[in-house]
Amino acid sequence: MKRTTFFLKALLLAAFPVMLSTEISAQGEPTGPGQAPILPVPGYVIYSNSDTVWGNLTWSLKYVENNPVEIKFTPDKGTKQTLTAGEILGFGNQITAWIGEDDMAARIPLPPEDYVSLPSWKKKEPVFMNRLITGRVTVFMNRASIGMSTSRVETRSRIDGIGFTWAPGEGLSIGPTYRTDYRIIEGKSRFTSYFVVKDGGEMIKVEKEDYDPLLDQLFGDCPAMQDEFARNPDLKKFKNFMILTEVYNRLCSL
């Protein structure tokens, strides 16, 4: 009986941080890529004339193909507006992430999430798509693949490339000046498929199951990347897609 009581107490203690995290997340503040803010959060809107205005926004929770199509936006010193993907160029909302563990955990701000008005993948209706990486290879989130991956990120070993370094807990460094926080890489690496545009061309769907045939199409035109592949063959694996794309965009810009 004592052993059973001890086990139940241990189970409740282990579950408490998870319940606490769920309770805090329910306050309405997004906690990771692609999560909808229910209460107003700081952000910006890019109007059709390319003007960028800051204020507070929420999603109206209307979707097409799992992508948001409408937001509520209150400009600083302005009145609330309802804006659709057919009316504006895009928006961004401020997100946060956990840092630390147990009682020492705290939220830290990350760069605003970037949403762009684009035709949806199937119906071709205007939606807001979450742009994860911008460059020659631009990556958009496939929100249908949220939660399909069971791990935060599979890349847990250090990679020392020729022009870059990836270190778990530290992040991605490219050349002497560019660095991406490891939490950003982790958050963007937990999906099983993405929508990708190369050099402004047609959007394609990049999936874990059909990834290898697309490697040359996306990254095969840059000698610097071939040198990186020769040094680190694991860089070609889907688990490193976010790292590979960031490196390509920096080392192989036109």
pTM: predicted TM-score of the whole model, two decimal places: 0.81
Structure token pair of residue 124: 């071709």
User: For the segment 78-122, what is each residue's pLDDT rounded down to a tens digit?
Assistant: 999 999 999 999 999 887 766 666 565 666 666 778 999 999 999
Query: What is the model's pLDDT at position 236?
Result: 95
Query: What is the model's pLDDT at position 182?
Result: 87
Give the lowest-confidence range in 21-25, 46-50, 179-183, 202-206.
21-25
Q: Positive or negative, the Cα torsion across 53, 56, 62, 68?
A: positive
Q: Is 204 helix (H, G, I), strand (E, B) or coil?
A: strand
Task: Please list, in sequence order, all residues whose beta carbon lies within 8 angstroms of the beta carbon of residue 82, skipping any fewer than 6 positions away.
Answer: 60, 70, 71, 72, 73
Give the lowest-confidence range in 25-29, 99-103, 244-248.
25-29
